[in-house]
Structure 1
Amino acid sequence: MVNFSNLKSAIPTDRWNFIYIIFLINGIGSLLPWNMLINADNYFVNYKLNITNPTSMQDNYRQHFLSYLGLFSKGPNILLQILNVFINAENANLTRRINITLVIQIVVFLIIIAMAAIDSSGWPDLFFWLTMMSAAFINLANGVFQSCLYGIAGRFPMKYTNSVTIGMNLSGTLASLLMLISIAVSPSYQVEAIVFFSFAIALLIVCLLAGFYVSTNKFHQYYSNKNLIRTPSISSINMELSNGHHKGRSSSLLHNAIISTVTYDGKPLNSTCKDFQSSAKAKYVYVLKRIWVQLINVMLIYMVSLSIFPALSARILSEDGILDENYFAPVFCFLFFNLFATVGNTIAQHVQWPGPKYLIIFTIGRLMFIPFFLYCNYHPGDARTLPIIFHRDWMYICGMIAMATSSGYLSSLSLMYIPKCVHPDVSATAAMFAVLTVMLGILVGINLSIFYPTIVTS
């Protein structure tokens, strides 16, 4: 019989939740580049690319700036995440990869600030493509950063995976607040952009410094080193829990000791080692067989959310005039989406319902948000022919709250479930597949949003 109390007392503790907070901060940093760029939409569209007598191509750059930005950001991001998953994901030094990518992102943001300080009115086409290339380089590095971060978090208890997800949505909230502050205190778009992007550099430096702290932290070393936590005595804890009253449950089992386990068939995870130890191909097949339903959930959640936010929701105009037009989109689009997505993440920290089997019912139901926002006061530029049904500001605001909260809540559930659906030895690989699917969902959503202007104006 295993002495649970003795084994549990031998496990290092996360004193004052420092490691949890560091995962949260890195979660903020993992989506900060994307959020900073999309929140600076007015700076790019109404200042840098707003020139007299533009060509048709320059006008196209302005009208579809967010869609172009999404393609140049998420395409490279996904490419590097795919490579990162298949290049020695379990045994690589993921912390070192994170530190290198943070340095690259800091350097590119310095270049973006330099471009903000320069008068580019004489070469708007070059500025546009330099901005797209900067976004691509940032997201090449950021793809590895996000993948490694979730890979490490996947080896920890479930709340640490969720702390990264919370941080990702806090990133958008922080970026939105910083943009509102920059608008209020800056005398021009140029100063606003310099101040705004400087915040990004400061936070990325904090993430870099945090990496040096975790390298000496015993709690972090214990969980991030899979060879330390996969001892026979720890495996016996898992086996007893699987064979006890938890067996067969189709929901997350939050163990007080080490590992939270999710099963669909009641089969103990420790008995499945042979399913993936024969070859690398067998490992990936095993992982995908156990998590494919949750990957569909992740894809649907982010596809719906990112097809609406920000390309569609940022172009919904106020009809009641409840807020100055300069603040309407920054508040009710950017701030509200990220704020209430964070609320949803936080709720998922304490309530894990529905379980992994039935989550897909709710993710499919969220598809109804797309027609709802198309029938709001959405004006992509040309005169719309589709009738407006939800024309009041409060209807749009309530829709944003519901869409954002459900996005945060359901994404947290699916991302917490995924690393725990597999054997602990391949939890990092499962987590990397999860964040790769997040980026795929974002990319599909961004491409889907390109068709919305045609739908409402044709």
Structure 2
Amino acid sequence: MWNEKKQNPPADRGQAVGIIIFILGLGTLLPWNFFITASQYFNGRLTQPNVTSNGTSGVTTKNYNYDSWMALLSQLPLLMFTLLNSFLYQLVKERLRVAFSLITIFFLFCLTAALVQVEMKPDTFFSVTMATIWFINMCGAVLQGSLFGVVGLFPPRYSTLFMSGQGLAGTFAAVAMLCSILSNAGATSDALGYFITPCVATLVTLFCYLLLPHLEFARFYLNRSQCNKQETSKEILSAGWSPSSSSSSSGPDKDMEASGKFIDAEESQERLSVFAVFKKIWLMALCVTCIFAVTLAVFPVITVRVKTVYEGNAAWEKVFTCVCCFIVFNVMDLAGRSAPSLVQWPSKESLVFPAAVLSRVIFIPLLMVCNIHNSKLTVIFSHDSIFVTFMALFSFSNGYLASLCMAYAPQLVRSKDIETAGSLMTFFLVLGLAVGASLSFPLGYLVLPTDTQTAA
């Protein structure tokens, strides 16, 4: 009997399933993080030597605005295909969606690694890179939505492991970049080694996904949903229920109502509409949109342009952006995401909560007046320690407040509407990322002129 199995699930031997789900979470956000962390490499490739307009030899750098376009072309397909995946799951099997997405991501990373060795005109390189970013994030959106559905079949602890894997994806990419820089193998070899890393990681993710159904513990939970559906159908049929008898107050319907089964069926039909659920969680939805809009507005387009004040220290200059921008951001963001498990303040009813969310807007001007060379704005905070402090507070508040939003929203609706609330919050989270990516364009132009000339 299935009920007996349900009472005695097999053990997760060696925490194998937990490790696999953690790796799957890591794999879903690797594409985004590897492209965002490689900002210096891509901006370097887009620097075009030329002769200046007055005939003197020099370097004219066309402002391709890589960081802003990368953020926008990452979030638009994420937004579109997160919605599309809600329809795809009914038409395309989950295994096919996940396998196809991972294989496509693998080949696109291989292409990116191969292009490290190929000389290309900046315009061509920019176009190929943007197309790669679009398609790789398109597959990433389908992959993430599909794996969220799979992980949802397991106990809540495994969802936490999946989210932890996602949280570490940024740190993983930043550490990979730091290791490639410290290897001192040369700029080309550094970039090649950096992009080979996600190729290997994607293959490991695919292997882990294919291995998952072969583990006894995973099979138990993956098959349970289908078995429950089959047993429910058998119970309804054995009770003699039919649509024509639903108006009767006696017989099988009455027995089912007494056992609670008929009431559950009615309750499932009484779920609130999407708009009605939104009316209950609108504040949290707007808050999570604001949080990520502020974050993507300046990270990475503004933050990667900040330079160290110690210009004579070549070794520190080489790793400054990787350490002070990407590693600090990802480590503190992860700390912020973990903090709500210890303390949750302000409360969801407090007006301090939306005030705290809105207060993050102050980070936009603060980061814009850090030590950015050739900036149109006056540099006020030049020292490295001030920039690191701003980045730490900026990233910690991002992770902490976003986690509170995602935790508070389900508490504002009935249990039967939690799934709808979760879907809405995910949509507004991605919407915030897209809005922030759009805002990064005008903010980027405020900091630097369109074209920067450096005389030879």
Structure 1 residue 330 corresponds to structure 2 residue 331: no
Q: Deviations over 1:420-454 (max 9, x none)?
A: 76677776665444444332222211221222244
CA contact (8 A) 1:24 1:163 kept: yes
Partner of 2:380: 389
1:129: how far off? Answer: 0.4
Farther-moved stretch of structure 1 (299-308 vs 409-418): 409-418
1:127–1:456: structure 2 CA closer, same or farther, 3 Å change rule? closer
Partner of 1:405: 396
1:132: how far off? Answer: 0.8
| Identity among equivalent pairs (%) | 29
Q: Distance in 2 between matches of 1:451 and 1:207?
A: 37
| SS of alignment partner, residue 47 of structure 2 | coil
Q: TM-score, normalised by structure 2?
A: 0.77
1:28: how far off? Answer: 1.7
Q: Distance in 2 between matches of 1:193 and 1:432?
A: 37
Q: Distance in 1 between matches of 2:116 and 2:51?
A: 20
Partner of 2:111: 111
Q: TM-score, normalised by structure 1?
A: 0.76
Structure 1 residue 314 corresponds to structure 2 residue 319: no
User: Which of the numbers 246, 264, 284 marks the counterpart of 1:294?
Assistant: 284
CA contact (8 A) 1:223 1:229 kept: no
1:433–1:117: structure 2 CA closer, same or farther, 3 Å change rule? farther
Q: Distance in 1 between matches of 2:406 and 2:431?
A: 14
Partner of 1:30: 28
Q: Distance in 2 between matches of 1:27 and 1:317?
A: 33
Partner of 2:42: 44
Structure 1 residue 129 corresponds to structure 2 residue 123: no
For residue 299 of structure 1, what is the amino acid of its counterpart?
Answer: T
User: Which of the numbers 434, 444, 455 marks the counterpart of 2:435?
Assistant: 444
Partner of 1:102: 102
Q: Distance in 1 between matches of 2:9 and 2:273?
A: 28
Alignment of 1:167-182 (within 5 A): 167-182=165-180
Q: Deviations over 1:395-435 (max 9, x none)?
A: 21111111112222232333345567667777666544444
Residue correspondences, number: 405
Structure 1 residue 373 corresponds to structure 2 residue 374: no
Q: Distance in 1 between matches of 2:78 and 2:421?
A: 18
Partner of 2:239: none
Q: Distance in 1 between matches of 2:16 and 2:355?
A: 36
CA contact (8 A) 1:154 1:431 kept: no
CA contact (8 A) 2:89 2:146 kept: no
Q: Deviations over 1:316-356 (max 9, x none)?
A: 12225687222111110011101111122233344444444
1:174–1:371: structure 2 CA closer, same or farther, 3 Å change rule? same
1:156–1:349: structure 2 CA closer, same or farther, 3 Å change rule? farther
1:283: how far off? Answer: 5.5
Larger Rg: 2
Q: Distance in 1 between matches of 2:34 and 2:26?
A: 11
| SS of alignment partner, residue 117 of structure 1 | coil
Q: Deviations over 1:274-317 (max 9, x none)?
A: 576379xx654465455444332322222222222111111112
CA contact (8 A) 1:61 1:128 kept: no
Q: Which structure 1 segments of 5+ residues have no match? A: 1-5, 233-269
Structure 1 residue 342 corresponds to structure 2 residue 330: no
1:372: how far off? Answer: 2.1
1:221: how far off? Answer: 4.9
Q: Distance in 1 between matches of 2:115 and 2:317?
A: 27
Partner of 1:205: 203
CA RMSD of aligned residues (A): 3.5
Farther-moved stretch of structure 1 (31-40 vs 14-23): 14-23
1:158: how far off? Answer: 4.7
For residue 372 of structure 1, what is the amino acid of its counterpart?
Answer: L
1:389: how far off? Answer: 3.3
Q: Distance in 1 between matches of 2:16 and 2:405?
A: 25
Q: Distance in 2 between matches of 1:23 and 1:54?
A: 53
1:424–1:19: structure 2 CA closer, same or farther, 3 Å change rule? farther
1:40–1:431: structure 2 CA closer, same or farther, 3 Å change rule? same
Q: Distance in 1 between matches of 2:379 and 2:37?
A: 26
1:414–1:127: structure 2 CA closer, same or farther, 3 Å change rule? same
1:170: how far off? Answer: 1.1
CA contact (8 A) 1:276 1:284 kept: no
Q: Distance in 2 between matches of 1:301 and 1:316?
A: 22
1:164: how far off? Answer: 3.2
Alignment of 1:137-148 (within 5 A): 137-148=135-146
Partner of 2:83: 82
CA contact (8 A) 2:306 2:371 kept: yes
Q: Distance in 1 between matches of 2:12 and 2:278?
A: 31
1:8–1:445: structure 2 CA closer, same or farther, 3 Å change rule? same
Q: Distance in 1 between matches of 2:280 and 2:227?
A: 25
Q: Distance in 2 between matches of 1:371 and 1:273?
A: 53
